Structure 1
């Protein structure tokens, strides 16, 4: 199950003042997995160029947290950041800089983008718990944090983003896997695209997509053009 765009918007509006708002924003808009969001470091982010490199993740083994490489070669990737996501990350960095000053020498320089107040790396379980609390606060249907990853794919497809770009953004190993996962969404988008193409072709016959405006006399000033059989 994924939230509708309206439900996702309500969640982000409610979470906007949370100190980890930017994490939810990035997951919702760019489809990062939980472990990827917890693992990304500032050295992996170029806010001027609008790029984020996914090179590592924090995975939970029991309660222990381990840093590892992405789960597949496709997971090691660059993600383009839209202007809104860049703005959210800039605001988050300013907040993190203020926390660093408050903690002083006690601040733990983990280098991570998303951290605890004292700079320590986040535990993935705490991220999930906070996500569920925020969703419950606003009265949204219960979904998994990972469903925001799926929802990002659905939004990209609905916006007309090519399947290949969706695959690379999500770190999927193949277009086929992406298409298999999002068949229902892709079918709707493909159908809409087909209708849009048909609407571009002017037609004179009744029931056709778009009537062609007459530019000559209905008596037929021009010879009829027949297509070869």
Structure 2
């Protein structure tokens, strides 16, 4: 949900902590990321200053996070003394951070099991950007949702044209002359 609806980067989702999710006021604060550097998994600030952002806690995301929180409570009980309390939203069965490569492998397995065309985890970010464009979201708003530092990144890299959009645009131009 977070990757597709908000266009979060993989590291931003894996670095999300429960203290970043405000169920009461209804927002999710993107402040940190989890990345592999050499042999270490490191928690650090998001990629850019613009990447630090607060997003509204959409109903469908709230539900998914509540399910995640309940599932994590069960895992914590099952792990007992082996539980490592990292405060992260997404963890292994023992509470440890999820290895980014393992997320990619799990995602690939889900894609294959559901007979979808092969896509990478990061492609969900591109999809989120393209959906924002298709829905007519102002580029500046899309840039802020995605946490880009420059609007050119949003426009050139993450939004992809499609035949339907082009046809609609040309119909509008034709309408000027009819």
TM-score (norm 1): 0.69
Which residue number in structure 2 is paired with residue 184 of structure 1? 161
8 Å CA contact 2:46, 2:52 repeated in 1:
yes
8 Å CA contact 2:17, 2:87 repeated in 1:
yes
CA–CA distance in structure 2, aligned partners of residues 63 and 166 of structure 1? 34
CA–CA distance in structure 1, aligned partners of residues 32 and 167 of structure 2? 34
CA–CA distance in structure 2, aligned partners of residues 184 and 191 of structure 1? 12
Which residue number in structure 2 is paired with residue 96 of structure 1? 72
- Greater radius of gyration (CA): 1
Q: Matched residue pairs, number?
A: 175
Query: Where does the alignment leave 5 or more consecutive residues of structure 2 unmatched?
Result: none
CA–CA distance in structure 1, aligned partners of residues 60 and 71 of structure 2? 17
CA–CA distance in structure 2, aligned partners of residues 44 and 84 of structure 1? 17
CA–CA distance in structure 2, aligned partners of residues 190 and 29 of structure 1? 26
Structure 2 counterpart of 1:166, from 130, 139, 142: 142
8 Å CA contact 1:160, 1:189 repeated in 2:
no
TM-score (norm 2): 0.88
CA–CA distance in structure 2, aligned partners of residues 72 and 191 of structure 1? 35
| Inter-CA distance 49–58: structure 2 relative to 1 (3 Å threshold) | same
Query: Where does the alignment leave 5 or more consecutive residues of structure 1 unmatched?
Result: 1-24, 200-206, 209-229
> What root-mean-square deviation, in Å, do the aligned CA atoms of Structure 1 and Structure 2 show?
2.5
Structure 2 residue matching 1:184: 3-state secondary structure: coil
